[in-house]
Structure 1
């Protein structure tokens, strides 16, 4: 094939390739959409099943609570006595029932004799009182009288409010003497359903809606076949309607006026007269989300395929970044090792003084112990106790010194923390106490209130900087010199200055004093100030040379807490 022929055939090949890619993309989209819709519907169904189980358990718990009330009252002596005519305290029982209704949140609790006449009720003092009403026509009354217990959901004949009637037979001397009944209304439960779901309703064994999140659904049948061939007189007494209309054309929940979009109907049985809880769930959001995720993954795959062309550049850039990270890590490691070496060198310089600081209290403790033993032998217990208290104080001082040494020599500094600025200053002075005392240096400290200023830093590294500055100040001030530590604050920073009355810093040295290996000491390495400034900058502060009339003023800038 010639070049001209190849050139002429290229548009055709590009068009075929483009159409193939388009067809592949459309096919992949169709497959992913179909599977995503199925997966979204399954996830919605599973979620609805879990939610329906929770709602059913909540309703069953509510029913179990109310079922105990008539059982307990049927055994109550006052109830039995009133039914047998041995007591005339109906008013007292009315008040007891009213109190119990308030405590259990029951709509009404009432007592009927064997003829169905209500002789006591919790609503005795209301216009809708049951007292004097006869309910022997109610199935729950007849069934409870015959079988011992019964339930019925019906519209109230007086209140016209729907509710569940739970009845329990009262037996005395082997014969039934009356019925205790509790009416339960579910207004709060239905309000919670309305706020939490697309639609919830509970049907009886015949498919009639009893409880519902939508009042317009109550006393409807779940399907045309459920509402046919019913006893109109029974429905009129129980539900207040002659004909129970169908809720939907089928029990699945398709749109016909009441429900506007296809819904999942999740059923959960409840162990009460064949009740079933129905949760209508709209799966649209889960399906849409699943489709969106599927398309996102498809786009992601396409993007990854296109991105393969740039992998070489990415890998090269990644190697470069890894090398930079490795160099930075090595640099940090070297700086940490240098900081640790500086701390250990400082400890070496003050080791003799710390040894003297420890040997003195050890010798004193031994002397106090020997004297204490002698005092005990002579019966001078109070004086001996004083000696032992002094020994305890000396041991505490030794403990503070050794603890400060261990903390200062640690390789890993603790994380930044809030602390009073006095803490690192006191630690540094504890380690340098012997050298300061031995050189007869006059040391001036800030007042106690100023030392309470709180800063945020790493205490060990901050103490390391203060020790470096104090060591330099002691070298500059010499025997009998004067050193001052000053603390000042601004809005976000605390400044700690170490001031000495030494000869000061020469102008040519001032410009390069923070350069590595720049020193005026014959035995110095010139790294102390470099390390100290690096530490302060790592902590978010700085180390600078301040102005001083005489000698040297080094100032640490520390972030305030």
Structure 2
């Protein structure tokens, strides 16, 4: 509305040509500024989208690793089960007992199927023995995971079920006598979660074949062209005739993005390896619409600003009337900008809420991953009491036949003590694995230390632990989350000192009127300078199997509890300090 008014004013003056030229120059400047602003907005939006995709990829990889880690040790735990060996030996009634046990175990663990294969390749028991399509009696000699387990002791394969026709990851382990225990993992829950979120997520193997994906139509397709022989072998291994078909080709763009040919859609991508050998997770997010919106918004905003300045120059000549019009335009611009800021603030609050939820899930995944590492040690720790219980029970039967009741009572008392020993350890581990609330209350620091030492007891063989004899301090926090921090620090120290002679960990407590400090000191090789510079940065680690999230999660927990976690300089080994509010 203001440009016609300014133009009429210019024409009415002797210097109208000069004023028209000035107005055209201002409009050209507005157009140029809008173009530059659009390019800047595109680069900034692309960088922000790429950073979010990298973060999403790391979070999805961490959650996928924790999902696999939960079940990796289950076949190992069943390897010494006497019902398994009895079923393989074809003891009368043993296979029915094993079917029921595997059915209960699969229901408790949350895994679709567990089954046992005899040395001749036929399954003798399965957790789905009651279903319409049970795995019992099926010949699995053609499966690579069976042959790998027989040859190397353990194996793994992602394939389409020959009976269920459902895809999944098969983890196998050879046991005494030549049999094989197999657990099948299905990733339906993970894929549904990925499909609900923004972007496209998928995992492919070393050949480039998509296995786990949020786009179901991409499953078993290849991200690059395969040799026909490789594609045929993949179809046989996976059990799907269409395995290895080629996806839509991808073209690289000059700005670092990619484009799916035939669709015109632009994406930013990030790929990283997961703990499963040969698997790579790729995260893609579509950006063409977001960038177009950002360019349009920046162009409109910049053009509006420059045109507003032009209107202000005209308002100097039109005095009162032009000033009133300029104020109306500025008021409208402020209103639009205020609405934009309000929307940005709401989106930021939602993003922070999602980030907090992901951090809580990652803390739970960290505890489960720690339990996965501890499980093997716990199995070794409980094997001796279980063997002793079996021996005492068999002896008690013989003594009962002979009428030696006092000896039977003595054996039963010993069995009870051994069972209590196992029960204390497993009950504490169950409590450690549950999701915790964020309620804060007074906690005895001595109970936190005792709980952490109980969890880590199987791993501390051969390591001297020095700790205060009595700790009477009460702190504000949550017992399980404080245990998680202490377990993380001591476990890092044990891994750093692995193979070191005279390994030693020292726990010490200092306190004042407001805070209590618990220090964890080891005599290992210490922390490398390049790692120390980014010690509490995500994914910073010098261990091949580590994710570099343990210290970050531990520091987040202590910050949430109102305390701190920091590294203290030390001449010997590494030292960390946990600061807590005194109750």
TM-score, structure 1 as length reference:
0.49
Q: Which has the larger radius of gyration?
A: 1
The one of the two structures with greater contact order (alpha-carbon pairs below 8 A, sep at least 6) is: 2
For normalisation by structure 2, the TM-score amounts to: 0.48
